[in-house]
């Protein structure tokens, strides 16, 4: 495989591309590097490659002309990738795909980056090595080259090594140990010394699952999980941020479609669906908020039927779900109840289908903001029936969560759907 590296610092690569397996790969002809020094293509006595950005701002940019000449000098560039924090993240899947190419050209940026028009002139794919900013693309190029080269047949000697590693099966890798078997009192796990390959394989799989759940739960949705894997995951202790999260469904004061303050009646459907949601996600509790006496009576009758009456006898699961529900006059009373239960005053987040467009309005809360709160204190997330919460409730909250589908023009969800989507986004179990 041929890597064509376009950079203003070709000497940067001298050591990383000649050491260890990479050096052997070059010797055996498996990989070849061709360095294109952008400075050779710069004009003027100073061979200057950079210039100030239009529109002002800090730093300098790599100029178009030398970059274009440098790229055009490559006879067969193959796929052209530019290292950039704005690129799509480099993943093992992308690496596997790149390992099938004959030629790859890597453009290494420096300073504040490169004149954007380069992307109009060449079919360039942007690739990032992580959500952080480096001084230049060279370090990123080395990451990409190493990841791709080690998948080339023959590069690592041992044919399987590239297939039994982190990400190859969608999970992180299990831990490794070598001699001595006891070091300063720390023993190698017994199972690894039994010679029982089936048990070792199972132990390693369990370790992979545990490491992925602990460090990178975001990988689990894409991983191929067997029934045994799922059973193992279920048996593990997990942190449950849901316990700190409480929801309130406000029936008064809410708005009608004319923007007037009204009361909305309690519905059987909301009680059941949100109680089941609260139980499924292990939430701290679900508050039904209405100050209207006959509505409280109605809610009480529904709850009594399922929690104690005939409903419980027929469907004990439903009784369990409805045990999460309490009925209170207003949000303040729900806050006091949470404080009494937990010893901590909950932080209050409101929800709305409308983005606050008032001049100078605070940016909406993100799911990340609320997830952070949940690590430290109980949170009461307040939802409105009708056409949404009245301003007096919104004003009580520290902020309002960004609406679901805020980038689209239609987001009229039922409150049950909105609560379900919001809770799932917040919990992100996987
Ligand atoms: C100082 S950075 C420029 C950062 C740029 N102003 C920005 O904020 O997106 C200079 C060069 O380093 C490289 N670089 C920096 N961080 C990177 C990352 N996370 N992944 C890939 N390349 C990166 C790119 O080639 C970039 O053009």
Tokens of 121: 């002139």
Q: Which CATH architecture has domain 182-235?
A: Orthogonal Bundle (1.10)
Minimum CA distance residue for ligand 1 atom 20: 128
pLDDT digits (tens, 9 = 90+) for 200-231: 999 999 999 999 999 999 999 999 999 999 99
Fold of 2-149: Alpha/beta knot (3.40.1280)
- Residue 402 DSSP one-character state: P
Q: To test the ligand 1 pocket, which listed residue (5, 63, 85) has its Cβ within 8 A of the most ligand atoms?
A: 85
Give residue limits of the domains in the chain: 2-149, 182-235, 241-427
Q: Kindly indicate the confidence band of residue 161, based on its pLDDT and cuts at 50, 70 and 90.
A: low
- CA 107 to ligand 1: nearest atom: 25
pLDDT digits (tens, 9 = 90+) for 115-125: 999 999 999 99
32-37 and 2-7 beta bridge pairing: parallel
Distance CA 6, CA 188 (A): 46
The pTM of this model reads 0.90
Distance CA 199, CA 191 (A): 7
103 CA to centre of ligand 1 in angstroms: 23
Q: Which of 156, 183, 61, 163 lies closest to 110 in space, CA to CA? A: 61
Minimum CA distance residue for ligand 1 atom 6: 112
Beta strands in 130-244 (DSSP E): 182-183, 186-187
Q: Is 45 exposed, middle or buried (0-12, 13-18, 19+ CB in 10 A)?
A: exposed
134 CA to centre of ligand 1 in angstroms: 5
Tokens of 405: 């589908």
131 CA to centre of ligand 1 in angstroms: 10
424: number of Cβ within 10 Å: 13
pLDDT digits (tens, 9 = 90+) for 88-138: 999 999 999 999 999 999 999 999 999 999 999 999 999 999 999 999 999
Pocket residues: Cβ below 6 A from ligand 1: 83-86, 108-110, 112-113, 128-130, 132-137, 140
Query: Per the CATH hierarchy, to which homologous superfamily does domain 241-427 belong?
Result: SPOUT methyltransferase, trefoil knot domain (3.40.1280.10)
pLDDT of residue 249: 98
H/E run at residue 4:
strand 2-7
Distances in Å between the Cα of 186 and the Cα atoms of 182, 360, 405 are 5, 58, 52
- Binding site feature residues for S-adenosyl-L-methionine: 109, 129-134
58 CA to centre of ligand 1 in angstroms: 14
Q: Tell me if domain 2-149 and domain 241-427 are identical in fold.
A: yes
């Amino acid at each position: 495989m041929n890597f064509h590296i376009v950079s203003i610092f070709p000497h940067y690569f001298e050591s990383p591309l000649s050491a260890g397996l990479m050096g052997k790969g070059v010797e055996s002809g498996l990989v070849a590097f061709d360095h294109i020094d952008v400075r050779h293509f710069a004009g003027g006595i100073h061979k200057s490659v950079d210039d100030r950005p239009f529109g002002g701002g800090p730093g300098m940019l790599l100029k178009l002309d030398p970059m274009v000449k440098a790229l055009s000098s490559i006879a067969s560039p193959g796929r052209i990738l530019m290292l950039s924090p704005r690129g799509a993240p480099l993943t093992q899947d992308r690496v596997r795909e790149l390992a099938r190419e004959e030629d790859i050209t890597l453009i290494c940026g420096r300073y504040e980056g490169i004149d954007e028009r380069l992307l109009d002139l060449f079919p360039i794919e942007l690739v990032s090595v992580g959500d952080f900013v480096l001084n230049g693309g060279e370090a990123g190029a080395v990451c990409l080259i190493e990841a791709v080269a080690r998948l080339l047949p023959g590069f690592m000697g041992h044919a399987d090594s590239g297939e039994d590693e982190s990400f190859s099966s969608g999970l992180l890798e299990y831990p490794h140990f070598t001699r001595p078997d006891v070091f300063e009192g720390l023993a190698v796990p017994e199972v690894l010394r039994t010679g029982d390959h089936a048990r070792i394989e199972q132990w390693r799989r369990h370790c992979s699952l545990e490491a992925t759940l602990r460090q990178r739960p975001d990988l689990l949705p894409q991983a191929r999980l067997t029934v045994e894997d799922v059973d193992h995951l279920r048996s593990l202790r997990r942190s449950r941020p849901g316990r700190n999260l409480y929801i309130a469904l406000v029936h008064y004061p809410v708005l009608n479609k004319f923007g007037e303050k009204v009361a909305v009646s309690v519905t059987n459907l909301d009680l059941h669906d949100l109680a089941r949601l609260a139980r499924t996600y292990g939430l701290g509790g679900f508050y039904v908020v209405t100050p209207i006496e006959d509505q409280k009576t109605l809610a009480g009758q529904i709850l009594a039927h399922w929690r104690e009456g005939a409903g419980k006898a027929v469907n004990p699961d439903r009784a369990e779900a409805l045990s999460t529900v309490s009925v209170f006059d207003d949000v303040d009373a729900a806050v006091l109840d949470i404080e009494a239960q937990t010893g901590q005053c909950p932080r209050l987040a409101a929800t709305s289908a409308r983005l606050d467009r008032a001049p100078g309005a605070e940016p909406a809360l993100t799911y990340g903001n609320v997830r952070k709160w949940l690590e430290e204190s109980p949170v009461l997330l307040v939802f409105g029936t009708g056409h949404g919460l009245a301003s007096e409730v919104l004003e009580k909250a520290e902020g309002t969560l960004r609406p679901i589908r805020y980038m689209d023009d239609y987001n009229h969800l039922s409150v049950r759907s909105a609560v379900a989507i919001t809770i799932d986004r917040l919990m992100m179990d996987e």
